[in-house]
């Protein structure tokens, strides 16, 4: 079983600030260990499940993150290296056409072999050689960057694997529990007011600077003009969302984008994902199982369409990704993230601060911005250019991370992206409006 | 038969500049007459065809444009008015939930009744009462704006009906001809150089000002920051696109967005829509039937995915909608538009000018901009708020109009929008790049 | 308008018994004229509609039946013959791979060209040359049989075109009327009792003998063993079907085949096709428009699944095709058929006769027999072998003809066949059970 | 690992002929043990895979067969019995609406819980109580029949689980081996001649008599008339099927049923399932992994459409189920069945006998008979009436069992049934023709 204590271990480690390239080996070990802590209590069978098209089996996440180091680091930088298994290069390729062919994503749940035990060997094999590589010294700047990328890649899959197993357990009528100690540790009390913070118009620098790691899609840093706007002090709560539902929110086409309305009808949506009415009580499936809906917690697992319809109903709108980034760039990176071990959004603390609350963690915040290249965007050369660039169409940007995002993985310039009907993510709603 | 002469008539009328509200009746007659000229030579059967999900039957266009005036003008502003037929309010409603229910779009081809003759009576009935309304004087500003909107709405459907009938005739193995005199009148000679024009960075005002008619999605006018960029002197030609094809453009995943590559495989694309290889010769279906491909003409009927892949292959990119608008705002609104009667993009004239050529007309130009609300966007109240606003997701912006866009309908701030796999439009490719 | 009188004309002609090969020309003229009478009052637009996958446009029926004579008779037996149009051989080919490629069935509604006028010319051209061929004398036995086949083929399409236009008009919210004088002429009064007729077990000869025309799928005549059974005196009525509905027939899975139950849920069936509840009254769409449901009329437009579920609910079963044929072989071929001009099933007359009533006409009767080859079945050689044989899987046999089947087209050995979810046909329910 | 020895154990047991109700406990233990032997060497992960819509995970088979005894026997006949888990009644219900709701079949692969270990406990719990029930004595005739049914049900799932795991392993690019010792033990040498055996026409009794266990769909025994026919001495071999392929069998529409031809095009079939051309060599996936195609072995894993097309190409046809049963009723029940441990069809021995060879075992033989009720068919009352009866439409009958059918499970009257496009079964081709 994953104990709360073991989760907290990594949080402490993170606090010590292992950032420099000289401490890369230590960080490598931390990140890899975090992955194993998150999955150690899942059975070989649990790790086979793929319960929706967006998800992958846990075991696949374990293997694919090793594949990343093997394919992009070890095979190219460690002379003596021989791949763990000749077919894994293809078997655990997610979508890199530059690396070669890959199995259809829907087949991942059929790969009983390699067994979980074999995949764990694959991880140890990878670790052993990565340790050797990191110990060897004299790594090029490019190689160091690739290792940094591999660690961030693995952190993305940490978030995904928790997100995926939550869905897998929800699909099962037995409703297994991922982490029995989780969730309860979220805050208590009433959600504070949503009163907006105002921001002046002007030209602002947006995107990642070169101070730390960032993905290619966060660059280049560039100027953007923002109109004056207001930004809500905290995300929308379940209680506020209930008011929308009770005001016939899911039955009024005038509140919805056309594609959103079609989605409501085709998919029969009448509440966020994981909400279920049991008798007269609304309940919610969490990583700790079913429990009573907490009205003061941020609403979660809503699509862009629902976020947009709620905002219209509320007489507001969603923020753009640049509005969001301007606010976040003035906010400290802290919050209810993966290391809190809660795996669930928490009630906001007081919002009397001079900054909006819950910018980082709790729920990803849908923005009105399409996921498109920044001016001057250049994807990496080779197969890694496929990491982000080829998805720059048909998706919306989300910002800020969620309660299952690792703390060292999120930052003000971080761009997440999903298609607008996506609900299996820990995605919520931040309101904004024009400051007229 | 629609003769060239009759098409040209409206062009002359347009030249006289019928813009003011006092000349609205004259403009009303012109626009309505143009619709009838474009359809007069199509049989009742031709006007029934709906050959792809994007298209509608010609007869439906004729009825729906009258429905617009009846529903939004006559029923509300002419006291004595009684609807032509009690069921038409629902039957010819396209997508306005605020007006009431509407038939599924795919059923439009099954409505043999009302007959074409009946629909023509409906148009005359509408015209008669619109004349009365316009003659009555004392129309409110709001009503005048609605009439203006109705005329622009009808012009959109003029473009659509030609686009749709082209597809309808292409699906038919007999390959009927829409306009035998068309197409040949396009320019001759060689396409001039693509040499780019350079633009400086800065803050620019974008969107429609209040000087003339514009749709709600073009407003409000607002500031945007543009980086320095370069803009091709003319659209990409068929010959240039052939070079992409011959360089295995449709077989190299690294050139494509992920969704684009999936579209290529799922739909079996290997050339633009309407291109067919007959023996060793590339041919193209046009409004004048099949003819040899002209390498110097702008390439047309490509999806966003194809435009994007071509640009990547060419070492360039597509422009953003604001880059496009900056260029266009310095360019006179003229070009190969509907009134030229060619219904086909023409070879560009010399590009020695100080402005890029073929900004307006010929082909709609795909931009990298998602179709999203401008800062401060407010849709109209009531059902007309559904005109544009509810489609602001999952679509890309196109700019500039095409060879089937009415001349008085296009302007620098005009935003057209389609999903990225759309090919039945007269859509082409303008290259741009960063000016580094 | 098609008047009742003109429909009756052919009935008189049929009565004169034009059966022998010497009268083939006369019969040819009669059958062709009947087709034209059935369609004369439909506009060019009506004749374009294809409102469900099973249906074809009227104009296509007109052309395809001529295509049959052109392709199989004129092109092969009339030396001087030149096809009316070089592309029609492909354009109007339904499904004969032996003749060559054919357009996808769903495209038939897009063929505005050839126009109805052109198709009528095609029919006259065909008729002229068929008259010449028939006048020429000395036709081989094979050619005479082919002409007979062509006439039966055209009669099948007479039935189909009425069936199809009924559906086309029902889809249209304006609910046009095919034949305003129709329907009312159905019988009045109460439906008589269903009391069963008993039949002894034994070996019986089944299938067509060589006395008259028959399709290949009715042969060879062969022996079959039937157990003792009972056969209902008349088809199930709308009132009886209502009782099934009121007894939750559509909500009880135990009454349905598994595939049937899936169809009920997936398609949302809760009543036969064309039934609509208006306020508290059940109405039914007919060839004369919407009218109140008549409880004593035979229920019509039900799928095999519904017929089977009803029979299970009633404690009975459907008959096998051989049980049906045994009964029919002892019954005179007469009934409410196309020539009655009613286009709607009629209330049964008294069933005091020694034979079950309404064996021929009114409604096709679903049987429990899969559409499979008879022992010793040999399809015709060449493309005409595709007429029936290649469909012998996944379909159920129906027997007896309906109110839109031509009288000279039906017989005891006639096998119709549709997939079990089909409802657009005039298909009803005859009960049977084991005589234990 | 499942050793050959352990498989053979049950064969010995079967030889001792444990048929009478007094030996039911011994048979119960044998059958249950056989299931465990077949699955003992599969990992918890292997037992999760569901690689095609027809298949279920091994673990599900293990649980569902226990569910059958729990639901239909223990819950109703053992007073003290308490269900192992309150949700299993619903979770492991396959399709019995009479028992209650059931999860969608496609979700079976997502049920990581209960774990394999828990399911094995469920089996032991069931066994313990079934032993108690069987020991208790005084079981009603109905209960004894239900136990017999439960054992036959479990044997069906033994066959299915091997069939399913073969597919699961084939989908995995690593191509795991189910049973390394298998397959090689199939016969060697050349396939003997196909020379047909002739049968006279006449009235024959068909269906199960009351001498032993049979499913409801095999009854009642009844008379049928058969025409004279001939029946091939053995099934079609891979070599013969290759000749069909090399004669463009998959490219000639005239050889195929219409639905079959559509399946060939839509699914891209060009060889039986599990055949792969590696270089110039045809290989075949088996339960022992990939191996060279053996031309003398019976062809296997073909759909009804392929069997039908092959027969047409060969100038023959498939037999009806009654022709097959007439032949089988004169043949001893023996052959290459599950207990041979080969899991693969074998080369036929000499066919000089007076009976056709390989009637039982090796490959299921497609027949021309639709799966429909026999005259007088009565399904069992209650939920068990859903076992067979509700599937009697849209499927074709197969006869004779295959190399993965338990020996005590097959008989001359046994009717298997699948939709005509099914290929994952061990299904092959027996030719027949009319004896003219």
Q: In this predicted model, what pLDDT tens digit does every residue of A174-206 receive, in sequence order? A: 999 999 877 765 556 889 998 999 999 999 999
Mean pLDDT to the nearest integer, D330-337: 95
Within 13 Å and on the Cβ side, how many CA atoms surround D204? Answer: 20
d(CA B362, CA B186): 10
Q: Taking 60 as the threshold, does the pLDDT of residue A371 lie above it?
A: yes
Q: What is the three-class DSSP state of A192?
A: coil
Query: Closest partner residue to C372 among D223, D370, D391, by Cβ?
Result: D370
d(CA A425, CA A404): 10
Cβ <8 Å between A253 and B97:
yes
Q: How far is C85 from chain B (nearest CA, A)?
A: 10
Residue B220, preceding peptide bond in cis (omega within 30° of 0): yes
**Beta-bridge mates of residue B237:** B298
Residue of B nearest to C171 (CA): B110
Band of pLDDT at residue D380, cut at 50, 70 and 90: confident
**Beta-bridge mates of residue D365:** D399, D428
Nearest Cα to D411, choosing from D155, D37, D230, D223? D155
Q: Output the pLDDT for position B136.
A: 84
Question: Chain D interface, mutation test: which of A50, A52, A100, A113, most D Cβ atoms within 10 Å?
Answer: A113
- Tokens standing for A331? 């906010």
What residues have CB less than 8 Å from B25, skipping those under 6 apart? B131, B134, B135
Residue of D nearest to A102 (CA): D173
**Adjacency order of strands within the sheet including B275-278:** B275-278, B281-286, B289-292
* D221 or B211, higher pLDDT: D221
Instruction: Number of C to D CB contacts under 8 A, please give it.
Output: 96
Question: Chain B interface, mutation test: which of C104, C113, C114, C166, most B Cβ atoms within 10 Å?
Answer: C113
Global pTM? 0.94
d(CA C359, CA C331): 8
Q: How far is D98 from chain C (nearest CA, A)?
A: 7
Eight-state DSSP code of residue D373: P
Q: Output the pLDDT for position C212.
A: 87
Q: Taking 60 as the threshold, does the pLDDT of residue D21 lie above it?
A: no
Residues of A with CB under 8 A from a CB of D: 43-51, 59, 87, 90-91, 103, 107, 109-116, 168, 171-174, 176
* pLDDT tens by residue, A249-285: 999 999 999 999 999 999 999 999 999 999 999 999 9
d(CA C269, CA C258): 15
**Full 3-state SS string of B333-367:** CCEECHHHCCCCCCCCCCCCCCCCCCCEECCEEEE
Give chain A positions within 8 Å (CB) of D50: 109-110
Distance of CA B324 to the CA centre of its chain: 17
Cβ <8 Å between D393 and C396:
yes
Q: Are C35 and C58 in contact (CB under 8 A)?
A: no
Q: Output the pLDDT for position B422.
A: 98
Query: Closest partner residue to D372 among C201, C370, C376, by Cβ?
Result: C370
- Tokens standing for B174? 């007999």
Percent helix, strand and coil across chain D, each to the nearest 5: 40, 15, 45
d(CA B370, CA B367): 8
Query: Closest partner residue to C45 among B48, B51, B172, by Cβ?
Result: B48
Tell me the mean pLDDT per 10 residues along chain C, length 436: 28 36 86 98 98 98 98 94 97 96 97 98 98 89 94 98 98 96 70 93 94 93 97 97 98 98 98 97 97 97 98 97 97 95 93 86 98 94 92 98 98 98 98 89
Instruction: Number of B to C CB contacts under 8 A, please give it.
Output: 92
Residue of B nearest to C116 (CA): B45
Burial D336-364 (b: 16+ CB within 10 A, else e): bbbbbbbbbbbbbeebeeeebbbbbbbbb
- Tokens standing for A346? 């928490």
**If you search the block for the tokens 């795996």, which residue do you land on?**
A343
Cα torsion angle, C94, C100, C104, C110, sign: negative
* pLDDT tens by residue, A26-84: 999 999 999 999 999 999 999 999 999 999 999 999 999 999 999 999 999 998 899 99
Q: What is the three-class DSSP state of B49?
A: coil
Cβ <8 Å between C254 and D373:
no
Eight-state DSSP code of residue C339: G
Q: Output the pLDDT for position B53.
A: 96
Query: Closest partner residue to C46 among B50, B107, B112, by Cβ?
Result: B112
Question: Chain A interface, mutation test: which of B200, B221, B266, B390, most A Cβ atoms within 10 Å?
Answer: B390
Length of chain A: 436
Cβ <8 Å between B257 and A373:
no
Give Cα separations from A342 to A3, A170, A338, B58 (angstroms).
12, 17, 7, 59
Q: What is the three-class DSSP state of C380?
A: coil
Q: Output the pLDDT for position B122.
A: 98
Query: Closest partner residue to B110 among C49, C90, C91, by Cβ?
Result: C49
Give chain A positions within 8 Å (CB) of B434: 375-376
Q: Are D301 and D269 in contact (CB under 8 A)?
A: no
Q: Output the pLDDT for position C9.
A: 25
Nearest Cα to D427, choosing from D310, D252, D279? D310
Give chain C positions within 8 Å (CB) of D386: 254, 258
Q: What percentage of chain D exceeds 90 in pLDDT?
A: 86
pLDDT in tens, chain B (436 residues): 232 233 322 222 333 344 445 689 999 999 999 999 999 999 999 999 999 999 999 999 999 999 999 999 999 999 889 999 999 999 999 999 999 999 999 999 999 999 999 999 999 999 999 999 999 878 999 999 999 999 999 999 999 999 999 999 999 999 999 998 777 655 568 899 989 999 999 999 999 987 889 999 999 999 999 999 999 999 999 999 999 999 999 999 999 999 999 999 999 999 999 999 999 999 999 999 999 999 999 999 999 999 999 999 999 999 999 999 999 999 999 999 999 999 999 999 876 678 899 999 999 999 999 999 999 999 988 899 999 999 999 999 999 999 999 999 999 999 999 999 999 999 999 999 998 6
**Beta-bridge mates of residue A292:** A283
Mean pLDDT to the nearest integer, A220-235: 97
Give chain A positions within 8 Å (CB) of D87: 173-174
Band of pLDDT at residue D11, cut at 50, 70 and 90: very low
d(CA C275, CA C281): 10
**Beta-bridge mates of residue B283:** B276, B292
Instruction: Number of A to B CB contacts under 8 A, please give it.
Output: 96
Q: Say whether the A–B interface has 3 or more Cβ pairs within 8 Å.
A: yes
Q: Output the pLDDT for position D5.
A: 30
Give chain C positions within 8 Å (CB) of D380: none
Cβ <8 Å between A98 and B222:
no
Q: How far is B350 from chain A (nearest CA, A)?
A: 30
Instruction: Number of A to D CB contacts under 8 A, please give it.
Output: 91
Surface-to-core class of residue B177, CB atoms within 10 Å of its CB (0-12 exposed, 13-18 middle, 19+ buried): middle
Residues of C with CB under 8 A from a CB of B: 43-51, 59, 87, 90-91, 103, 107, 109-116, 168, 171-174, 176
Cα torsion angle, D40, D43, D48, D54, sign: negative
Cα torsion angle, C391, C392, C396, C399, sign: positive
**Beta-bridge mates of residue A198:** A230
Q: Are C59 and C88 in contact (CB under 8 A)?
A: no
- Tokens standing for D291? 């191996």
Surface-to-core class of residue A208, CB atoms within 10 Å of its CB (0-12 exposed, 13-18 middle, 19+ buried): buried
Question: Chain B interface, mutation test: which of C50, C104, C112, most B Cβ atoms within 10 Å?
Answer: C112
- Tokens standing for D76? 């109703």
Question: Chain D interface, mutation test: which of C321, C393, C421, C434, most D Cβ atoms within 10 Å?
Answer: C393
How many CB atoms neighbour CB B320 within 10 A?
A: 22
Cβ <8 Å between B110 and C176:
no
Q: What is the three-class DSSP state of B130?
A: helix
Q: Output the pLDDT for position B235.
A: 98
d(CA C134, CA B347): 59
Q: What are phi and psi of B369, to 5 degrees?
A: -95, 130
Q: What are phi and psi of D165, to 5 degrees?
A: -70, -30
ipTM of the complex: 0.94
Cβ <8 Å between C173 and B114:
no
Q: Are D428 and D350 in contact (CB under 8 A)?
A: no
Q: Are A275 and A293 in contact (CB under 8 A)?
A: yes
Lowest mean pLDDT among A90-94, A376-380, B404-408, D163-167: A376-380
Q: Say whether the C–A interface has 3 or more Cβ pairs within 8 Å.
A: no
Give Cα separations from A285 to A170, A301, A424, B292, B372 (angstroms).
7, 11, 12, 62, 34
**Beta-bridge mates of residue A206:** A222
Q: How far is C257 from chain D (nearest CA, A)?
A: 4
Q: What are phi and psi of C10, to 5 degrees?
A: -70, -35
Strand ranges (DSSP E) for B352-412? 360-361, 364-370, 396-399
Q: How far is A52 from chain B (nearest CA, A)?
A: 19
Cα torsion angle, A338, A340, A344, A350, sign: negative
């Amino acid at each position: 079983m994953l104990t709360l204590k073991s989760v907290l271990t990594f949080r402490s480690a993170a606090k010590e600030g292992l950032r420099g390239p000289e401490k890369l080996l230590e960080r490598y070990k931390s990140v890899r260990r975090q992955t194993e802590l998150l999955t150690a209590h899942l059975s070989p069978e649990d790790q086979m499940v793929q319960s929706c098209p967006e998800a992958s089996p846990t075991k696949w996440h374990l293997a694919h993150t090793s594949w990343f180091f093997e394919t992009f680091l070890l095979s190219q930088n460690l002379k003596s290296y021989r791949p763990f298994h000749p077919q894994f290069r293809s078997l655990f390729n997610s979508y890199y056409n530059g690396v070669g062919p890959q199995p259809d994503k829907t087949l991942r749940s059929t790969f009983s072999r390699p067994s979980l035990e074999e995949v764990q060997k694959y991880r140890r094999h990878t670790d052993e050689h990565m340790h050797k590589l990191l110990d060897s010294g004299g790594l090029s700047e490019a190689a160091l960057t690739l290792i940094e990328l591999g660690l961030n890649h693995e952190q993305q899959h940490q978030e995904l694997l928790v997100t995926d197993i939550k869905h897998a357990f929800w699909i099962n009528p037995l409703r297994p529990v991922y982490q029995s100690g989780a969730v309860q540790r979220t805050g208590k009390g009433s959600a504070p007011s949503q009163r907006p913070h105002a921001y002046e118009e002007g030209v602002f620098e947006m995107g990642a600077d070169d101070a730390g790691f960032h993905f290619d899609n966060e660059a280049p840093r560039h100027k953007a003009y923002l109109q004056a706007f207001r930004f809500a002090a905290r995300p929308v709560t379940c209680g506020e969302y209930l008011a929308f539902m009770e005001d016939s929110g899911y039955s009024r086409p005038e509140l919805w984008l056309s594609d959103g309305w079609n989605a409501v009808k085709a998919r029969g949506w009448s509440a966020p994902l994981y909400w279920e009415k049991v008798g007269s009580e609304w309940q919610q499936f969490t990583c700790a199982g079913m429990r009573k809906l907490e009205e003061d917690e941020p609403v979660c697992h809503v699509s862009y369409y629902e976020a947009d319809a709620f905002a219209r109903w509320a007489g507001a709108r969603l923020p753009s990704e640049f509005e969001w980034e301007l606010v976040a760039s003035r906010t400290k990176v802290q919050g209810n993230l993966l290391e809190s071990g809660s795996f669930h959004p928490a009630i906001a603390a007081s919002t009397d601060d001079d900054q909006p609350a819950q910018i980082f963690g709790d729920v990803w915040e849908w923005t009105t911005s399409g996921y498109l290249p920044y001016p001057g965007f250049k994807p990496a050369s080779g197969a890694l250019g496929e990491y982000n660039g080829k998805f720059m169409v048909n998706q919306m940007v989300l910002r800020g991370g969620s309660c299952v995002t690792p703390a060292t993985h999120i930052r003000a310039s971080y761009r997440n992206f999903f298609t607008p009907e996506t609900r299996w993510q820990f995605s919520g709603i931040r309101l904004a409006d024009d400051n007229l």
